[in-house]
Structure 1
């Protein structure tokens, strides 16, 4: 079958693309398989991962790279072997993952932990088993294996659903999997694209109290409006760790700075408390005294996005509880400026690119 549409999008050709120097070009998508779905992209969130990848921050990027892994649009082609209840015309989305081995002998895939599969394929800058590259959603169309394509509930607007598919699940998964709910006091480090989702989902999951932690009080009003009960401005109270010691059962850290005060964050944990890192710096985390863990029997861990069934669960909770992310819509044609603004920290709190369907202007 010959495609009736072109795969074209904003491509990063070298590390300078993270400075807003992407170029609009056509590219060859993943080789079609009958388990695939083609999506006409209407919305795509901008994630911090896009910037890290465009500039080869975490590792050398496979250029050309089309960023964007918070994709929502319309299914325009559905393979004959797609087992999910997806049909042409459905509103669907793809998050940060679009492949794993899915083999029955794979402990992770067989246990519903596809996001931890050793052969995970990212929605962009990845390689599929058939040798094809993966390309993201700063584009007109996206092709993805159906196992990782999610139907979007009718009650969630596309512009709001898009950033949930990476930013939302990255915050929701460690909260849900580490006991966030009634009886728990939760801290969220960083009030940004990820952190604001952390506050929203901690609230939706019924945490007893939510403490937002940031360097200054400039975002205090926003944090309280999102649902936080308390706020710690670490630059404004030299004794903040002492004043709030042993106050939290669970901390989810969304910041990605190698200079963050990790040891002081650990002081905030109660006995058997947990510190879960989701922000991914391009350098190492700072050293800390191991007695910060030993004395209280606390734990430090990490979390990576979420499996497809977790995304579906999160979207169901979102629809049921009326979770509303704070987003700012930007035209896809202005993707380069939006990337620059994202890197400058101007987003409040998630940019979403809107594909207006006007190729002449792109």
Structure 2
């Protein structure tokens, strides 16, 4: 296939780009590694909350210009000579991580134990730097170029629009479910019924959890949560006695909210003995302080988690295929990316937004 295509995409030029002021421009990708790189012609890219945090420099100063988007699905158009298992024409995806050293020199503890996201040589799919110093650019674009280590084939049974948001949002909430033993006999709580939280409910349902309690400030999304598979619902702003009613009832809580004001102390009281509270949402400020007795009183623990390894993503995709579970998503044309960002910030997703690059659809 010809390699004379241009890399063009929506670029954030400053913090105002998060308000829907990105500009469509050509950009220079990393130099192609003839051995191990892959080029993807992008058909779909999910919109993630991380995109807005980065565009507005919410998590720290962003190096502009930046092309965000790390829920990428498309077709391979160029493959390095040493890439295994992927060929031109394959439908593949890339999530929030674009490189891990894969224990290449035998000295990476994280890659050896399949904890690739924590690899010290990790390269984020955008707003990061490749080993040669070039900037990583994401998926609000026509093409993506990067190392093959984190490129994953998409199962035929999952459509591209449903697969894209799973590559970051899906694995972010499914990874702690896998890691902490969610399944038959377990009682799981999911805090925040948004783009991440809806995957938490879907994942817990796919794993066969005994109880799945959706937790939100209001009951506005209760009906949706029950349709997704929740067996219970807590509206914290509407029931002043929610802690006493539901205390000591959950084995695992996954918190997807990105607010520093979450009532962490009260959430911990929902846990049973040995329970775990896992934070996956990433606020731009600090989490609230908690009393030590909230932890030691019932031997509960607080943990954090982010995305997952390529193997974790494959496991999640296989699970969703097996259980016939799909993302709840709304699609926008790639050309309407700025409008999509504005609607995202306004809280309109039900429950993931996906940009569709119609000119690349086959």
Q: Same fold (TM over 0.5)?
A: yes
* Superimposed CA distance per residue, residues 152-210 of structure 1 (whole angstroms, 9 cap, x where no aligned partner): 00000000000000000001100010010011000000000000000000000110010
Once residues 299 and 116 of structure 1 are traced to their aligned partners in structure 2, the CA distance between those partners, rounded to angstroms, is 21
Aligned length: 357
Flag structure 2 segments of 5+ consecutive residues without an equivalent.
Answer: none
**Matched residue of 2:50: which SS?**
helix
**Matched residue of 1:51: which SS?**
helix
Give the TM-score normalised by the residue count of structure 2.
Answer: 0.97
Deviation (angstroms), 1:52:
0.3
* Pairing of 1:231-270 with structure 2 (within 5 A): 231-270=233-272
* Pairing of 1:78-227 with structure 2 (within 5 A): 78-83=79-84, 85-102=85-102, 103=104, 104-227=106-229
* Pairing of 1:283-302 with structure 2 (within 5 A): 283-302=285-304
Once residues 36 and 325 of structure 2 are traced to their aligned partners in structure 1, the CA distance between those partners, rounded to angstroms, is 32
Structure-2 residue corresponding to 1:70:
71
Superposition misfits of 4+ residues, deviation over 6 angstroms: none
Structure-2 residue corresponding to 1:35:
36
For the aligned residue pairs, the C-alpha RMSD in angstroms reads 1.1
Flag structure 1 segments of 5+ consecutive residues without an equivalent.
Answer: none
Contact 2:12 2:55 in 1 (8 A): yes
* Pairing of 1:261-340 with structure 2 (within 5 A): 261-340=263-342
2:348 aligned residue (346, 349, 352)? 346
Deviation (angstroms), 1:100:
2.5
Once residues 90 and 120 of structure 1 are traced to their aligned partners in structure 2, the CA distance between those partners, rounded to angstroms, is 25
Once residues 118 and 54 of structure 1 are traced to their aligned partners in structure 2, the CA distance between those partners, rounded to angstroms, is 24
Deviation (angstroms), 1:2:
8.4
Once residues 10 and 332 of structure 2 are traced to their aligned partners in structure 1, the CA distance between those partners, rounded to angstroms, is 14
- Which shows bigger deviation, 112-121 or 183-192? 112-121
Deviation (angstroms), 1:348:
0.5
**Matched residue of 2:336: which SS?**
helix
Once residues 112 and 212 of structure 1 are traced to their aligned partners in structure 2, the CA distance between those partners, rounded to angstroms, is 30
Structure-2 residue corresponding to 1:60:
61
Deviation (angstroms), 1:81:
1.1
Structure-2 residue corresponding to 1:25:
25
Structure-2 residue corresponding to 1:12:
12
Once residues 204 and 247 of structure 2 are traced to their aligned partners in structure 1, the CA distance between those partners, rounded to angstroms, is 20
Contact 2:331 2:354 in 1 (8 A): yes
Give the TM-score normalised by the residue count of structure 1.
Answer: 0.97
**Matched residue of 1:315: which SS?**
helix
Once residues 96 and 323 of structure 1 are traced to their aligned partners in structure 2, the CA distance between those partners, rounded to angstroms, is 22
Once residues 101 and 177 of structure 1 are traced to their aligned partners in structure 2, the CA distance between those partners, rounded to angstroms, is 22
Deviation (angstroms), 1:325:
1.1
